Amino acid sequence: MASHRRPKQPSRARVTVLTTAAAAAVAFSSQAANAAPSEKPSKDEVKAKVDKLYEEAEQATEKYNGAKEKQEKLQKEISTIQDNVARGQEELNELRDSLGLAAASQYRTGSIDPSVQLFLSANPEDYLDKASTLDQLSSQQVEALKKVQEKQRELAQERAEASEKLKDLASTRTELGKKKKEVQGKLSSAQKLLNSLTAAQKAELTAEQNRASRTAERDALTADVPPGSGRAAAAFAFAQSQLGKPYVYGATGMSSYDCSGLTSRAYAAAGVQIPRTSEAQTGAGTKIYSVSQLKVGDLVFFFNDLHHVGLYAGNGQIIHAPRTGTVVRYESMNTIGGPFMFGVRV
């Protein structure tokens, strides 16, 4: 006889759990469907973030420039030392050869010159002292041997100096690589933000920058401001001739510039060598703390860490290489993004 069992009913607890889960799933699905899409940042918000990234990139750029300048200086110093060592080794060889010839001559006559014993000695300096005391060497030979020892000490010192500078160079190259990577990272982040803008928003930003630059140029050219010295005037004239050339970090011209690259090249064109980095350029002349006392061609520095520099153009305007994505242009000191610290009259 067949068995007829009623199917087992789910427990009340299980039904409650499943019902609750299903209700939650439906509610979540409904919320997701009705949720408003996250709003994209406005043009001004993007610009503020990009400007901040560009400022950080410029800070890193000036440190990169400093490391690069140090690297070039160390390479020159090492090359000079290596040349000195090579010449010193030649002189040492000549001194040794002259002593060797004298020793060979005495050997042929049956006597062993003390200089031969010196070369065979485990401690030449100690032997020289003893030999001099015992009057075993002629005064001429003593003088020749002293020159050999002096030259040996000079070479040892120069080789040690070269070794230390090579270590410093390796450390500087590592720092240079880190700063370059840091700059590139900031610029990449800024570019991603700019790419999030529409074509119309990008066009608006460009138009705003162009209008500001034209206004700054007009204000500068109509200003009644005394020019600086002949050298400052020449530097400023050079900067004017570079208007429109793009900003590129680490660049010193002639096709592109960063901020201190422009100012250093401008003064070089005027026959004055000033340091490469903005911070170092602050020591290139007399500091001027009042804008009203500035003259055309004076260097002007911004931000607390002095990472930005330009050339004063008059009436509160400057010519400078602002940042990546811009060109050498006129700009109001009020729109730089950081406080004016002081000017320097070269």
Q: What is the CATH number of the domain that holds 263?
A: 3.90.1720.10
Burial tier of 297 (Cβ tally within 10 Å: 0-12, 13-18, 19+) = buried
Query: Smallest Cα–Cα separation from 261: which of 240, 275, 241, 271?
Result: 275
Any domain includes 80: yes
Token pair for 6: 């009623």
Considering only residues 287 and 93, tell me which one the structure prediction assigns the higher pLDDT. Answer: 287
Is 117 among the domain residues? yes
**Contact between 168 and 74 (Cβ < 8 Å):** yes
Q: Among candidates 246, 220, 226, 233, which has minimal Cα distance to 318? A: 220
Mean pLDDT score of the chain, rounded to an integer? Answer: 82
CA neighbor of 240 nearest in space, from 332, 334, 320: 320
Segment holding 311, helix H or strand E: strand 308-314
On whether both 177 and 220 belong to a single domain, the answer is no
Catalytic residue, from 137, 183, 259, 321: name it: 259
In which band, very low, low, confident or very high, does the pLDDT at 35 lie, cut at 50, 70 and 90? very low
Q: What share of the chain is helix, strand, coil (3-state, %, to 5)?
A: 65, 10, 25
Residue 263 lies in a domain: yes
Centre a 10 Å sphere on the Cβ of residue 113 and count the other Cβ atoms it contains: 21
> What does the alpha-carbon distance between residue 195 and residue 244 come to, in Å, rounded to a whole number?
23
Last residue of a domain, one of 194, 216, 241: 194
- Side-by-side strand order, sheet with 329-332: 286-288, 340-345, 299-302, 308-314, 317-320, 329-332
From the list 308, 323, 329, 345, the catalytic residue is 308
Asked if residue 178 and residue 64 are part of one domain, the reply reads yes
Residues 301 and 284 in one domain: yes
Q: Last residue of some domain: 160, 194, 228?
A: 194
What is residue 96's predicted lDDT score, i.e. its pLDDT?
A: 78
308 is catalytic: yes
254 and 167 housed in the same domain: no
Q: Are residues 251 and 178 in the same domain?
A: no
Between 46 and 28, the higher pLDDT residue: 46
Query: What does DSSP assign to residue 332?
Result: E
Does residue 132 sit in the same domain as residue 271? Answer: no
Residues 125 and 226 in one domain: no
Which of 60, 89, 95 minimizes the C-alpha distance to 158?
A: 89
263 and 312 together in one domain = yes
> For 243-285, what is each residue's pLDDT tens digit?
999 999 999 999 999 999 999 999 999 999 999 999 999 999 9
At residue 76, the pLDDT reads 93
Which class for 246: exposed (0-12), middle (13-18), buried (19 or more C-beta within 10 A)? middle
Same domain? For 254 and 145 the reply is: no
Parent domain of 206: 198-345
In a domain, 9, yes or no: no
- Residue-wise pLDDT tens digits, 109-136: 555 455 555 554 556 566 556 555 444 5
Residues 218 and 328 in one domain: yes
Q: Is the CB of residue 88 less than 8 Å from the CB of residue 303?
A: no
Pair type for strands 329-332 and 299-302:
unpaired
Is the same domain home to 172 and 254? no
Known active-site residue 4: no
pLDDT band at 104 (very low <50, low <70, confident <90, very high): low
User: Is position 259 annotated as part of the catalytic site?
Assistant: yes
Catalytic residue among 151, 295, 320, 345: 320
pTM > 0.75: yes or no: no
Give me the CATH number covering residue 56: 1.10.287
Q: How many structural domains are present in the chain?
A: 2
Contact status, residue 69 vs residue 261, Cβ threshold 8 Å: no
- Alpha carbon 89 to its chain's center: 36
Whether residues 218 and 132 fall in one domain: no
